[in-house]
Amino acid sequence: MTNDPSTSTRGERRRARTRSRLVGAAQSLFAEQGVEATAIAAITERADVGFGSFYNHFESKEEIAEAALAEAVDAQKLALFELIDELTDPAEVVALAHAFLVGQAIVDPTFGWLLVRLDASHRLLIRALGGRARQDIRDGIAAGRFLTADPEVTFFATGGALLLVMRAVLDGDLGDDPGLRHCEGLLRMLGVPEGEVADIAQRANAAVAPGAGVGDPGR
């Protein structure tokens, strides 16, 4: 994935491996402690890489934070986009995306904590996830499927709800089926008719349930 013997030299591959170790170490440390509380030396140490090598790849902690988030999100995006690929109803798309992310917080806490902790750096997160989410909301409004008047308010409200629910899940503060319950609230917020809420929420959560094709537990 990060190496390609045919189009790169051994040196390039070695370099890529070092970079990859740094990003992986940063992801787990940022997830555990947040960005500010993590020293660069802690990253190189966990990556088992010489301290100075850090600066061969990144100029600052902010820069590796951006890479750490972007790479984590990109990996998840693939799985998510595949799931929502064939859906046409914006309500189903949004429900599934939220169900997926709540599910990921359970299945891959490192990823979950990374998202939640980077809320501090916020702009990174909005950029990483916001593009598609915004469009889905606008689509839903245009299709008359969502009743909300202001797509931006809806974007921030749904995003904020998702992040704090994920955080509560990570903290172990929620009971059964947090993803299902969250989806129900989400769909109601969007203005989906009450008669459809339970059904769509259920389908979305069934689609992301373990065993439904979203493998790779642990990490």
Binding site for a copy of itself (CB under 8 A): 34, 36-37, 117, 119-120, 122, 147-150, 152-154, 156-165, 167-168, 173-175, 178, 181-182, 184-186, 188-191, 194
**Least Cβ distance, residue 69 to DNA (angstroms):** 17
Residues 6+ apart with CB under 8 A from 179: 98, 99, 102, 103, 106, 205, 208
Placement of tokens 């969250």 in the chain: 182
Q: Is 142 in the site for DNA (CB under 7 A)?
A: no
Q: Is 52 in the site for DNA (CB under 7 A)?
A: yes
**Least Cβ distance, residue 163 to DNA (angstroms):** 25
Q: Is 9 in the site for DNA (CB under 7 A)?
A: yes
Q: Which does 57 bind (CB under 5 to 8 A by kind): a copy of itself, DNA, none?
A: DNA
Q: How far is CA 141 from CA 11, 149, 154, 163, 185, in A?
A: 51, 8, 10, 22, 17
Q: Is 3 in the site for DNA (CB under 7 A)?
A: no
Please give the distance of CA 199 from its chain centroid, rounded to a whole number: 25
Tell me if 20 sits within 8 A of 57, measured CB to CB: no
DSSP 218: -
Q: Is 6 in the site for DNA (CB under 7 A)?
A: no
| List of residues contacting DNA (CB under 7 A) | 9-12, 14-15, 17-19, 39-42, 49-57, 60-61
